[in-house]
Amino acid sequence: MPSYSYAVTIAAPAARVWQVLAAPEKWPELTPSMTSVRGLAGPGVFPGARFAVRQPRLRPAVWQVTALDEGTSFFWETRAPGARSRAGHVLEPAGDATRMTLTLDQSGALSWPVAFLLGSTIRRYLSLEGDGIKRRSEQPPSA
């Protein structure tokens, strides 16, 4: 099945990166790959949380958090006819920094046609999102 990943080292402790990563409603401020993200059960990432996500060139989708390791990782997934997408957001210590890996795995009958049509967009969006989270995480937290 199609799989994509993007990893980046962030010059900030994992706790700071987690503050940024675990606030997906603010991601549109960080990257042009997100138009809007709205928590359907309130803000924040928690098991079962659902988010309405709009991205340029992609269909609107509802992503649901399926796994969470507070401060370290969360996974969410969305389904469309013929395809399922599962995205991971994982933080690992890297000395005084944090290594963040973003992944997207797709499955289903239409996953390969989607990969053919949108694979380059997906790869670009992962890097835009990772770089946006990096930039915000490396800034001092706002008071």
How does 53-71 read in b/e, with b if 16+ C-beta sit within 10 Å? Answer: bebeebeeeebbbeebeee
Q: Quote the pTM value.
A: 0.94
Helix axes 14-21, 111-137, angle to 10 degrees: 130
Q: What percent of the chain has pLDDT over 70?
A: 99
pLDDT digits (tens, 9 = 90+) for 63-105: 999 999 999 999 999 999 999 999 999 999 999 999 999 999 9
What value does the mean pLDDT take over residues 13-19?
96
Q: What percent of the chain has pLDDT over 90?
A: 92
Residue 142 confidence class, pLDDT cut points 50, 70, 90: confident
Average pLDDT, rounded, for the chain: 95
Residue 140 confidence class, pLDDT cut points 50, 70, 90: confident
